[in-house]
């Protein structure tokens, strides 16, 4: 592939070309020249788009697809195309398929299915067999096969000793343990954030305490064992404070926040629309503001779409019985641009690579061409026609968004939305 990208403003704080509008010559997957008015002597393909901005390729640390087992929700093939057209050059695949990705052969299966796509897929192996929370899965074998971390998607480990052993065990190969944090006993039959809205609507509540108590426990375990712990999709003000204190004390803890927790609150539940049923639940405006502050001050390391396709049979039903989850790849950038400055959005959509051990490609001459292409200014409403996923369970339908993703350039492939 030989391509000249014209008049692109580079957004990459680690690049010497940060905030400069330049031309980029790409040859065989590498950035050969960055400069102004690069001559096109060989009649190469040129790409010129309105208000084009270019950043390092984005990485999403939590994506569910479905395959194997739930292909009606999403396939790996279509899911990777959705990710590419949404600006993501890499995704971490959650293990919540059927069967669960809890062994070497399952890791190999999803990796083989993802061969040849512009968006790279990095499997997360289940921490426990069948994500049942009883016996530790084959972590070392999965790591050898290519798993980048280990966790049970949206399942909290009630057995503290098992998490302790896992944190100790993975240190032998510098592994990363993921601990979704929600005390199931305190959550009980809760389906929405415990507060004024849930009380008014008569919905069983999930108090902030369910998350915070589990995070506190997991941080105590990390302090005891050492190693690295990632806490996904934090959702409360106190959770941010706990993690901030742990980092100050030198613990190797990272965390993410989901786009929907940065943009939406439990006020959205007024019409009992199950598109807004997510785990952890949408919280209050106080929590939302605290999450945004946690991002800007550096306590929260990365943003995830927490993309989770759910078929209509498990979503279009009464609120109590519906499955939790929203798709989020297609709407991630546009939704974030309504609440955060551009540079922070880009930083937090790329920072997860370092935590998950994925090579970082700064935009510079000689670097691999791993790029996301976008326009940060276009304003629109997110509609059903914007959804590329097989499942349509988006919490962002009808929401104003800002910015447009043009596509990605990665693996010597240019994918345009």
What is the radius of gyration, based on Cα positions, of the chain? 21
Distance (Å, whole) CA 391 – CA 107:
24
- Tokens representing 109? 């299966």
Rounded distance, CA 37 to CA 195, Å?
Answer: 58
Q: Per the residue annotation, which of 23, 152, 287, 306 is the catalytic one?
A: 306
Q: What single string gives the DSSP state of each residue in 258-283?
A: EHHHHH--GGGGGG--GGG--SSPP-
Element (H, E) at 167: helix 160-169
Max distance between CA atoms of the chain, in angstroms, equals 69
Question: Which residue is associated with the tokens 């302790």?
Answer: 164
Residues paired with 211 in a beta bridge: none
Q: DSSP 3-state assignment of 320?
A: helix
Active site annotation includes 306: yes
Q: Are strands 45-47 and 2-11 parallel, antiparallel or unpaired?
A: parallel
Q: Which residues on neighbouring strands pair with residue 407, listed in sequence order? A: 373, 416
Residue 18 burial by Cβ neighbours in a 10 Å radius (0-12, 13-18, 19+): middle
3-state secondary structure of 234: coil
Q: What is the spatial distance between Cα 289 and Cα 56, in angstroms, rounded to a whole number?
A: 27
The residues assigned a catalytic role are: 306
């Amino acid at each position: 592939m030989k391509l000249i990208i014209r008049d692109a403003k580079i957004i990459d704080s680690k690049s010497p070309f940060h905030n400069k509008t330049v031309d980029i010559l790409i040859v065989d997957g590498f950035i050969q020249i960055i400069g102004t008015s690069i001559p096109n002597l060989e009649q190469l393909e040129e790409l010129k788009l309105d208000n084009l901005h270019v950043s390092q390729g984005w990485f999403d640390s939590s994506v569910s697809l479905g395959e194997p087992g739930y292909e009606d929700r999403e396939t790996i093939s279509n899911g990777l195309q959705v990710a590419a057209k949404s600006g993501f050059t890499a995704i971490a695949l959650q293990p919540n398929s059927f069967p669960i990705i809890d062994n070497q052969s399952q890791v190999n299966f999803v990796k083989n299915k993802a061969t040849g796509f512009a968006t790279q897929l990095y499997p997360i192996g289940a921490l426990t067999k069948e994500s049942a929370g009883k016996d530790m899965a084959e972590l070392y074998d999965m790591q050898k096969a290519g798993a980048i971390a280990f966790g049970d998607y949206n399942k909290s480990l009630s057995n503290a000793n098992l998490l302790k052993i896992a944190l100790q065990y993975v240190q032998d190969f510098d592994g990363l343990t993921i601990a979704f944090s929600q005390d199931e006993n305190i959550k009980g039959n809760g389906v929405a954030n415990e507060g004024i809205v849930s009380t008014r609507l008569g919905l069983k509540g999930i108090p902030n305490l369910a998350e915070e108590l589990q995070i506190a426990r997991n941080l105590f375990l990390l302090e005891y064992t050492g190693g690295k712990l990632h806490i996904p999709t934090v959702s409360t003000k106190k959770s941010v404070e706990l993690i901030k204190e742990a980092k100050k004390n030198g613990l190797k803890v990272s965390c993410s926040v989901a786009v929907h927790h940065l943009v939406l609150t439990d006020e959205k539940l007024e019409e009992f629309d199950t598109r807004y049923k997510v785990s952890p639940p949408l919280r209050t405006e106080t929590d939302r503001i605290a999450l945004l502050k946690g991002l800007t001050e550096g306590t929260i390391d990365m943003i995830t779409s927490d993309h989770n396709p759910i078929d209509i049979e498990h979503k279009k039903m009464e609120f109590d019985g519906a499955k939790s989850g929203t798709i989020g790849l297609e709407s991630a950038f546009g939704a974030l641009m309504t609440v955060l400055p551009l540079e922070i959005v880009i930083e937090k959509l790329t920072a997860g690579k370092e935590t998950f051990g994925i090579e970082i490609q700064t935009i510079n001459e000689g670097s691999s061409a791993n790029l996301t292409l976008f326009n940060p200014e276009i304003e629109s409403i997110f509609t059903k026609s914007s959804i590329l996923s097989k499942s349509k369970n988006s919490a962002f339908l009808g929401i104003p968004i800002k910015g447009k993703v043009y596509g990605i350039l990665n693996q010597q492939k240019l994918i345009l939305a």
